[in-house]
């Protein structure tokens, strides 16, 4: 087997490796999980885990990078809860009588996305679980006779001959 090549993120340093911390943070910030970062850096899982435990800067880069997509999702969920406006831009191209085409000025339309009830429910249930968690409480009272229990379980003992 040939010598294993490393990406530019790693440089051999004696018996250890030196990471390109900015690259590791960027990989984490686009939502890659550890196994995907290991593959991108071409490092075995156990080696990456070992360096994560030993190298505080590497662990910090992974944590900081992982916060970016989390913040973006929280921000998007919050916008869905409140509703928002956005400008839709349309390009119109009109064909001329001579067979050519003319591009007209861009048409802008103000669009509105109303608040999303499901997003509000998700936000409240996760942010304030004691006040907003979904509760399902069922009270069951009564008694089951032996015959009822047998029927529920599919045992046919005690069936009348008329039913056959």
pLDDT tens-place values along the chain, 164 residues long: 444 445 445 554 445 677 889 999 999 998 889 999 999 988 899 989 998 999 999 999 999 988 988 888 899 999 999 999 999 999 888 888 888 888 888 889 999 999 999 999 998 988 898 888 777 777 778 787 888 878 888 776 555 555 54
Q: State how far the Cα of 144 lies from the Cα of 163, in Å rounded to an integer.
A: 22
Domain ranges of the chain: 7-82, 83-133
Q: Which long-range contacts (CB under 8 A, 24 or more apart) does 122-129 make?
A: 122/77, 123/77, 123/78, 123/81
Mapped onto helix, strand or coil, the DSSP state of residue 42 is coil
Strand positions, DSSP E, 23-62: none
Model's pTM, two decimal places?
A: 0.50
């Amino acid at each position: 087997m040939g010598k294993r090549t490393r990406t530019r993120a790693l440089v051999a340093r004696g018996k250890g490796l030196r990471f390109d911390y900015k690259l590791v943070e960027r990989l984490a910030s686009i939502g890659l999980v550890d196994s995907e970062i290991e593959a991108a850096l071409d490092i075995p899982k156990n080696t990456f885990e070992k360096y994560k435990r030993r190298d505080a800067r590497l662990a910090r880069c992974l944590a900081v990078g992982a916060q970016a997509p989390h913040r973006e999702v929280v921000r998007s969920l919050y916008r869905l809860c409140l509703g928002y406006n956005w400008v839709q831009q349309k390009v119109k191209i009109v064909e001329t009588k001579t067979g050519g085409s003319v591009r007209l000025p861009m048409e802008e339309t103000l669009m509105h996305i109303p608040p999303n009830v499901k997003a509000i429910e998700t936000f409240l249930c996760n942010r304030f679980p004691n006040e907003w968690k979904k509760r399902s409480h069922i009270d069951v009272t009564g008694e089951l006779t032996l015959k009822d229990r047998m029927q529920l379980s599919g045992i046919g003992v005690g069936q009348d001959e008329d039913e056959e």
